[in-house]
A = this chain, B = another copy of it.
Amino acid sequence: MDQGNKSFNTDSIPEPESSLARVRAIFEPTSVAVIGASQRRGSVGLAVFKNLLDGAFSGVIYPVNVRAHSICGVRAYPSLTAIGDPVDLAIIIVPAAQVTQVAREAGENGVKGLIVITAGFREIGEVGLAMEDELKAVCQEYGMSLVGPNCLGVINTDSRFSMNASFARRPPLSGNIGFISQSGALCTAVLDYAARKNIGFSKFISVGNKADIDELALLRYLHEDPETKVIMMYVEDLRHGFEFIDTVRDITGGDNPTPIVAVKSGRTAAGAAAVSSHTGSLAGSEAVYDALFQQSGIYRAQTISHLFDYAVAFATQPLPKSNRVAIITNAGGPGIIATDITMNVGLTLAKFSQDTTDVLRSALPATANVHNPVDVIGDAGVDRYRAAYEAVLKDENVDGVIFILTPQSMTDIYATAQIIPALAQKSGKPVLTSFMGELDVRDAIDFLERSHMPHYHFPEMAARAMGAMYRHFKWISRQHLAELEVAPDRTQARLVIEKALASGKTYLGEVEGNKILAAYGFPVLPSRLVGSAEEAAVAVRELGCSVFKIASPQIVHKSDVGGVRVGIDTEDGAREAYDDILRVVKGNAPEAVIEGVFVQQMAGKGVEVILGINRYKVFGPLLMFGLGGIFVEIFKDVSFRLAPIRHNAARRMVRSIQAYPMLDGARGGEPCDTDELERCLIFLSTLATENPEIAELDINPLFVHAKGKGCSVADCRILLDIDRMN
């Protein structure tokens, strides 16, 4: 369990409007001072200043340097105060120990935004962390926004606010991808790679230590930015939980949605260790991040190259309106490979209309394949490609096209590339291309990329990108289920929790647990806590066939000490079982304080599932669902969501486990009451959200009975821990 780091920025987020204004102070200044600008070859101070000068910035740039009279021929000032004119943005490159002082001076002079490139803060440990906190405090005092410290800087390619405030070696092309990176070094590699692939950016931000402006603020800003069509992120940690989901869900899936593709690294345990030693970040558990991304509608890429592959598709092509893909190729092998991946990512091969097949048959030679994937055959010239391409684009059964070319003796590579963009645009359907090879196809690929046609070296990546686009289409067009009603008896639940806390009790078994669950609407089985054999007999008379379990705060694993009897259905049996349990448990656990025997009605037939809560610092309660027993333990077949969840998420939680068919009547069984199960997940979410003292909770098992027959909580345990409350 992640205990987090107490120094994290858990301040409440500013209101959206003010948050936007704060980011604008960074991206849209009219005057900029570079404090620590330098003439020294190879210095960051020179690199930043040169980039600004070369970057078509339309305002004024002031170099600040205590000793130099000019930098690159521009008059320099000994201090920010000495400039005299107003400065909107200060870029700070002075040694770490001087940064706070310089920031204060900036504040005094009315500067609105800071980019602190200097490293040596939080990432180096306690001393740096203290300096970073001080820097934050200064920014808050003067109402300045701050990017960094420990970053590469930011770049804006928007012609109105053109600015390269970074020490990147290579300026990006202008385009419509917004890029946010938590690794400065990765930025330089990404810019270099993008240049070669003709990929352009709208904004390019290295967030560094995120002392102030972080991903969430930037996502809000990029969503509003007319130049940004898709956002790429490289993330090592995030420091918001539900408020992140709540905001980003609207960015990716609300009105005017902006797709977001992210790589989150630090996936494995060892990877996580590397994160800590690198930026001192919280290495959030994989489950938390997977839930966070899923609930936010962020598409998670596995690698940096996939990040690009998806982003260029989103940046340039319309989304497919359904999942039926046409593949055109002049070679069988690549067509097969594309088909394989197409099927694997949840797409399907379009079945052409009779008209299309007729056109293809007349335009292509007899040996061609006129069905999908269309094989125009190795000796196809541009005419055959055009005929096939036009025909499938027109077909109403086609939602998107993957256009493959291999260079063969008769192939007119460049001319074939030229037919692609105009027809694609006219069709309103996404077209992804793969001209295979490197050297012979280079000019054609350059043409395609410059014409905003996504190109992939290998057709399998085109198919993957099409899959990502279709998934995003499903996300933005998803239906919202009617919300389920929850009317908890909060007073009752609080009473139990507060009484336990007051008495120093942190582990709650079924006696208190059932009271809390019942208060939130869970279907708990009728039960009694009994203190004598006679009471046990009465209980069985009233409840019918029952389970007996020892009730003791010291005993967590009741079966292990002989504290459980099942199927007690007579009064005599009840008396006998009561005495027997007490005798055996006292023998096995003489120290335990026995509160009595918990008599609970036997649950009817049903599938056993497990519901759980695990609370994380920063992210809040993570909900878990899965089938009980080995399915959890060996197959790890569970789904996670951060609370609170709504009906849609509850349904997806239930349906996304691999064993879902077992709840849906597989193997001739009756379908289970998944409606009630979804309600239970909503109860769980509400309970977790409203009672921050609950650090962990297991309902194991919950029986899910046949459709219409509901569920029954058969066992539960709760751990209270006020240290995990925020």
B-binding residues in A (CB < 8 A): 42-44, 47, 119-120, 123-124, 167, 169-170, 181-186, 188-193, 195-197, 234, 236, 263, 265-271, 274-275, 277-279, 302-305, 330-337, 339-340, 342-344, 348-349, 367, 369, 371, 373, 375, 378, 406-410, 436-441, 457-458, 460-461, 629-630, 633-635, 637, 658-659, 661-662, 666-667
Contacts and interface: CB of A to CB of B under 8 A. Distances in A.
Contacts of A265: 333, 336-337, 340
Given A332-B274, A369-B277, A658-B635, A437 B189 contact: yes
A576 to B, nearest CB: 26
A332 B183 contact: yes
A271 B340 contact: yes
Contact of A268 (B344, B637, B666): B344
A637 B43 CA distance: 58
Given A630-B666, A633-B666, A330 B270 contact: no
Interface centre among A275, A339, A637 (most CB of B within 10 A): A339
Given A183-B331, A407-B169, A348 B267 contact: no
A-B CB proximity, top 10 nearest: A185-B331, A183-B333, A192-B437, A196-B438, A189-B436, A278-B332, A268-B343, A271-B340, A186-B333, A185-B406
Contact of A189 (B189, B191, B407, B633): B407
A339 B268 contact: yes
Contact of A440 (B192, B336, B343): B192
A467 to B, nearest CB: 13
B369 A406 contact: no
A699 B406 CA distance: 49
Nearest to A367: B124
B170 A42 contact: no
Contacts of A197: 438
Contact of A659 (B167, B458, B635, B666): B635
A566 B647 CA distance: 45
A123 B368 CA distance: 11
8 contacts: A184-B331, A185-B408, A192-B440, A193-B436, A268-B343, A270-B348, A277-B371, A303-B337
Contact of A334 (B43, B170, B186, B339): B186
A375 to B, nearest CB: 7
Contact of A409 (B169, B186, B304): B169
A276 to B, nearest CB: 10
Given A167-B409, A189-B334, A332-B185, A343 B270 contact: yes
Contacts of A167: 409
A367 B120 contact: yes
A344 B267 contact: yes
Contacts of A304: 337, 458, 460
Q: How many copies does the complex hold?
A: 2
Contacts of A271: 336-337, 339-340, 343
A39 to B, nearest CB: 15
Contact of A630 (B270, B343, B659): B659
Contacts of A409: 42-44, 47, 167, 169
Given A169-B407, A277-B371, A371-B277, A333 B236 contact: yes
Contacts of A270: 339, 342-343, 348-349
Nearest to A464: B303
Nearest to A48: B409
Nearest to A335: B274
Contact of A183 (B269, B334, B460, B629): B334
A119 B119 CA distance: 65
Nearest to A348: B270
B330 A185 contact: yes
Contacts of A305: 457-458
Contact of A266 (B186, B268, B334, B340): B340
B182 A333 contact: yes
Given A268-B339, A635-B658, A192 B332 contact: no
Contacts of A123: 367
A672 to B, nearest CB: 14
Contact of A186 (B186, B195, B331, B460): B331
A272 to B, nearest CB: 9
Nearest to A435: B189
Contacts of A441: 192
A181 B333 contact: yes
A407 B349 contact: no
Contacts of A461: 303
Given A183-B333, A188-B437, 19 more contacts: A169-B407, A181-B333, A188-B406, A188-B407, A189-B407, A193-B457, A196-B439, A197-B438, A265-B333, A265-B337, A266-B336, A266-B340, A267-B344, A268-B343, A271-B336, A277-B369, A303-B337, A634-B658, A634-B662
Contacts of A661: 634
Nearest to A182: B333
Nearest to A277: B369
A278 B329 CA distance: 12
Contacts of A348: 270
A716 B189 CA distance: 60
A344 B302 CA distance: 12
Contacts of A303: 337, 458, 460-461
Given A278-B369, A337-B304, A195 B460 contact: no
Contacts of A342: 270
A196 B629 CA distance: 53
Contacts of A234: 333
Nearest to A235: B333
Contacts of A192: 407, 436-441
Contacts of A662: 630, 634
Nearest to A456: B305
A476 to B, nearest CB: 27
Nearest to A381: B42
A236 to B, nearest CB: 7
A269 B344 CA distance: 10
Nearest to A304: B458
Nearest to A370: B277
A202 B123 CA distance: 50
